Amino acid sequence: MKKLLIKIISASLCVIMLLSLSLSLASCEEEEGKVKTLYVYNWGEYMSDGSEGSLDSNAAFEEWYYKTYGERVKVTYSTFSSNEDMYAKLSAGAVSYDVIVPSDYMIERLIKEDMLAPLDYANIPNIKNIVPEFYGPDAEFDYYDEGNVYSVPYFYGMIGIIYNTDMVDEADTGSWDLMWNEKYSGNILQFNNSRDAFGTAQYFLGLDVNSADEAEWRQALEKLRDQKEILQGYVMDEIFNKMQGNSAAISAYYAGDFLTMYEENDALEFYYPEEGTNLYVDAMCIPKTSQNKLIAERYIDFMLSEEPAVANAEYTYYASPNRLVRENEEYKAYMAEIKEDAYDKIYTTENIKATPYKNLSDKTLAMVNNLWEELKSDIDVSPTIYIICISIVGSLVFFGVFFGIRKKKRNSY
């Protein structure tokens, strides 16, 4: 009787456990069905990710969103290395992104091609934190999106030249000329994107970076061809390992990224070339194809609040248009710890000749893309290569004759 009772109790417990497990799994599946995915597409190394004790901005948003709205959101975050790569992916339509962070001239292009959704600022109240130079009736830096109809400024900066003080003579610095100095042949890196690479040559030559004149672009092309002979390579994100590891001595790049490299290698230094350089703004936008526009606007709003805004600024070392960052004393102290003049290096624009890139016409864009392909596909044929080619051809002729004679001998038997 006891054994029967034990069996009945055991069977009952098993049924109860199985029912509980089924209910739990059903509940999880139901909960998972409620989780919405927000697709964010940003530059590499451009948002605080929780490393070294920093704030994980995307995870913080997910937590904040659930506490604020009672809904689960999962951020799927991916990165690009150039505006052109971002545009190609976006226009292909393979993924429907909800938030993207292009640069000024690319935002102009996306607006022109009707690829961005107008923002509803009722869902972005923290826009009040953006300083007047970047948002509002007197904004100076909304040249790419007047009135900020489609974009919210994220970071801004200028391009300069990074060099290794152990490998480069100080007397050679100050100008774009350093990027063409044969003394450093094999140790110079160039941008691996058409707009920035051409920009280095155009500023050096005193040309208009927004010109529609093909002759001027071809003049810059010839300058880049001259440089190609002494380059180590064309890079984007690879610059970090190369400059930090002393495997290259000179490169044009963005001011904020210089500080990231400097933190790993204090032999590096930076300057804005005297001939002039590019000033750019990167801004958060919502593609017209977004499936979660309201959540995307709330995501942008969250990134304008103090904690993530400061964390992102500390992580990237880029200049922030957010007053909560600029007025944060802990942030200023943090920047001074990285490098004594770090804050001034990225925020001071006085006495620096800087101009933005503008969106080019379709005709000019096509021409520039063709010139870029022309540059990248050039093959430098040296005497050594001629000798190798002649040797290969000679070997082929020899073996052709040799096997031809053998074949004739066999046929004669």
161-196 pLDDT per residue, tens: 999 999 999 999 999 999 999 999 999 999 999 999
pTM of the model: 0.82
- Residues in CB range of 212: below 8 A, 6 or more apart: 360, 361, 363, 364
80-134 pLDDT per residue, tens: 999 999 999 999 988 899 999 999 999 999 999 999 999 999 999 999 999 999 9
Torsion sign across C-alpha atoms 30, 34, 38, 39: positive
- Using CB atoms within 10 Å of the CB of residue 291, give its burial: 0 to 12 exposed, 13 to 18 middle, 19+ buried: middle
Q: What fold, for 32-156+282-357?
A: D-Maltodextrin-Binding Protein; domain 2 (3.40.190)
Cβ distance 224 to 287 under 8 Å? no
User: What is residue 117's DSSP assignment?
Assistant: P
User: 158-278+370-377, superfamily in CATH?
Assistant: Periplasmic binding protein-like II (3.40.190.10)
- Identical topology for domains 32-156+282-357 and 158-278+370-377: yes
pLDDT at 396: 54
Spans in the chain with pLDDT lower than 70:
1-33, 379-413
Domain boundaries, the chain: 32-156+282-357, 158-278+370-377
